[in-house]
Amino acid sequence: MVIQWFPGHMAKAKREVQEKLKLVDFVIELVDARAPYSSQNPLLQQILNQKPKMMVLMKKDLADPEMTNRWLAHFAEQGMMAIAVDVNQRQDIQHVIMTAKEMAREKMERLQKKGVRPRPARAMIIGIPNVGKSTLINRLAQKKIAKTGNKPGVTKNQQWIKVKKDFELLDTPGILWPKFEEEMVGLRLAAIGTIKDQLLPKEDVAAFIIQYMQTVYPDKLQERYDITAAQSEMVVVFEAIGSKRGCLEAGGSVNYEKTAEVILQDIRSGHFGELTLEQPNETV
């Protein structure tokens, strides 16, 4: 299955990223800590032109801490600077600032040696929709500058944001790539709410979540729904969850779409606890 999705404003944003890249010293790419591989945009990797990059794993409070550490080690093995962030933790915000300053230090020293007047380091902040970009920017700037919202596509234009005197950020709209060749990538992004619910059947996404949790997090699944890994028939699983959560139609039959919505809401709201939907050795 190939999922195609490339609205006009995303094509425009891609062109603008290419045009503005020469203005920045390095790039900060945000990914979702629950799906660090799937939430990277391969389209952006193609246009970054070897710019130094910091990878920020967002929403670490919703992700499996052990798996997050494995992902950080994985990126470090690839020679990439990577940190994990909970935007509600002040020390994590400071970690972003200090890491950004360190990344820009060598470039700033070179400019000074050439006699260029000192200036703030400049970074472009990029990422796919709904990864938490605007919220992080507001925390870094310590005021509400970027619009936030728990849905894809809130940021529509580029803007420069000052972060104290340390560096300046160029915000960009979230950009998806033209199509997802890998079905699992689409399912993971749909599960965490990165792509719009209309792109994939909710029941398919919910079934993916259940099957993944039966394999990796059976205890969390049983605690939430009293469902075991042995219950492999998805119709039976949906019936059990729908009955338990009151997703019923007139006459008492289970409404599968409402049941799927409950499952999606539970994973996006963190009701299962901390979990990650992919592992470093599992790229598809």
* Local structure of 50: helix, strand or coil: coil
211 plus 92 within the same structural domain: no
What would the mean pLDDT of 35-63 be, rounded to a whole number? 86
The position carrying tokens 């902040």 is 125
Q: Which tens digits make up the pLDDT trace of 162-196?
A: 887 778 888 776 666 555 667 888 899 999 988 77
Highest mean pLDDT range out of 18-22, 50-54, 97-101, 207-211?
207-211
Question: Which pLDDT does position 179 carry in this prediction?
Answer: 57
Q: The domain that contains 236 carries what CATH number? A: 1.10.1580.10
Task: Please tell me the total count of domains within the chain.
Answer: 2
95 plus 150 within the same structural domain: yes
C-beta separation of 259 from 206 below 8 A: yes
Domain assignment of residue 150, given as a range = 8-171
What confidence category does residue 126 fall into, taking pLDDT thresholds of 50, 70 and 90? confident
What is the pTM (predicted TM-score) of this model?
0.85
- Quick one: tokens of 217? 């997090």
Count CA within 13 A, CB hemisphere, residue 96.
Answer: 30
